Amino acid sequence: MSRLFLSPPDVGPRERELLLDAFDSNWIAPLGPHVDAFEREFADFVGVGHAAALSSGTAALHLALMLLGVGAGDDVLVPSLTFAATANAVTYVGARPVFVDSEWATWNLDPALVEEELAARFHEGREQPAAVIAVDLYGQCADYDPILKSCAAYGVPVIEDAAEALGATYHGRPAGSFGALNVFSFNGNKIITTSGGGMLAGDDPSPIERARHLSTQARDPAPHYEHSEIGFNYRMSNLLAALGRAQLEGLPAKVQRRREVNAAYRTAFTDRPDIGFLPNAPEGEPTNWLTVITLDDPTPVREHLASLDIEARPAWKPMHLQPVFADCPMRGGAVADEIFRRGLCLPSGSSMTDADVQRVVEAVRASLP
């Protein structure tokens, strides 16, 4: 039996066709017609005005922080329960992540703790954070109504890290349309992939235009190479944008399949009260990028699955428990701790067959008392 991966790429003939089109056109560069078209099609899909195609989601986070003027000495609120890239980007601009715990309803940034942190700073006369980054973990939107309300009240801009949530909605509105700037990833394990890539999106055209400038070495208009500020090599290549366009065409079907896989796991374990799930919150429709179960002790289950060539992975280790962020402040923490202790991500890819899901279900059952 072949190895079952957590979230492998799901590509087909359309990807091959557009990739070859890019290849044959000789636009083999970090610019070209597929880059322009991917940006336009992506912005339309997400319902934002503009998008800049970049080399990774991490690059998009870095530029988002720069474009909002976040810099040395600033604090940025970040959920502790996330992938390290969210917090790493804060340090790239010389700022400090201030971690906030999750809420049980979505496993995302707890809106009550965000309000608590901003109100405490206000009452103590301390400076507000330069930004709040909200992450849509495992394909589910954070609870944006209260988060945006608190941030607006204290004048703090929000960046949405929708790296895991392309295709999700919150009150009917697409993930990646809630922040002043919004970040997406097309890493190989994401819901759509360009092997590696990312997007920065927003309604205001000027930061997105500036992102294009900064991501191509900040070259000023001149016949020679003229630079008046520091730039980056962060632009997406035309070959990868071609791949991204084909993946975007297939996105609704991929989201649908991930939801079916999630529903199949839920149905299969209805008789097991010892198995919990990341809740599907009623405010929106998640993509179920990864199905995450909770168990008293996930380690023997993960090890048994590994022995059967089935990849499963612990939930994200919270940032406040990471040695590299040991000096950063943390508000709360019990929820993220427990999710890390009990969470296990199961194979969730959109190319999974019903038989694949059954294979995982049987393996999980066999490993439980």
Ligand X SMILES: Cc1ncc(COP(=O)(O)O)c(C=O)c1O
Write the DSSP assignment of 112-149 as a string of letters: HHHHHHHHHHHHHTPPPPSEEEEE-GGG----HHHHHH
Bridge-based pairing state of the strands 198-202 and 50-54: antiparallel
What phi and psi values does residue 160 have, to the nearest 5 degrees?
-100, 120
Nearest-angstrom CA–CA distance, 357 and 338: 26
Of the candidate spans 2-10, 52-60, 107-115, 357-365, the one that interacts with ligand X by CB under 6 A turns out to be 52-60
Nearer to ligand X, 160 or 363 (CB): 160
Residue 160 lies near ligand X (rule: CB under 6 A)? no
Q: How far is the CB of 135 from ligand X (least distance, A)?
A: 5
**Strand, coil or helix: what is 276?**
strand
Q: How far is the CB of 316 from ligand X (least distance, A)?
A: 8
- Within residues 8-27, the interface with ligand X by CB under 6 A covers none
- Within residues 183-212, the interface with ligand X by CB under 6 A covers 185, 187, 198
Nearer to ligand X, 121 or 317 (CB): 317
Q: How far is the CB of 82 from ligand X (least distance, A)?
A: 5
Q: Which amino acid belongs to residue 196?
A: G
Structure token pair of residue 68: 């909002």
Q: How far is the CB of 221 from ligand X (least distance, A)?
A: 30
Nearer to ligand X, 10 or 161 (CB): 161
Q: How far is the CB of 153 from ligand X (least distance, A)?
A: 26
Distances (CA, A) of 245 to 17, 37, 163, 287, 365: 11, 8, 17, 19, 39
What does the per-residue mask of binding to ligand X show for 213-252, with x meaning CB under 6 A? Answer: ----------------------------------------
Residue 74 lies near ligand X (rule: CB under 6 A)? no
Of the candidate spans 159-167, 210-218, 296-304, 328-336, the one that interacts with ligand X by CB under 6 A turns out to be 159-167
Residue 288 lies near ligand X (rule: CB under 6 A)? no
Q: How far is the CB of 93 from ligand X (least distance, A)?
A: 15
List the strands of the sheet with 181-185, edge to edge.
50-54, 198-202, 181-185, 158-161, 131-135, 75-79, 96-100, 330-331
Q: Which residue of the chain is nearest ligand X when measured via CB?
A: 57
What phi and psi values does residue 308 have, to the nearest 5 degrees?
-100, 15
Nearer to ligand X, 186 or 269 (CB): 186
Q: How far is the CB of 159 from ligand X (least distance, A)?
A: 11
Q: How far is the CB of 161 from ligand X (least distance, A)?
A: 5
- Within residues 79-118, the interface with ligand X by CB under 6 A covers 82-83, 85-86
Helix%, strand%, coil% for the chain, nearest 5: 40, 15, 40
What phi and psi values does residue 11 have, to the nearest 5 degrees?
-125, 160
Closest CA to 297 of 266, 274, 273, 320: 274
Residues that bind ligand X (CB under 6 A): 56-58, 82-83, 85-86, 135, 161, 163-164, 185, 187, 198
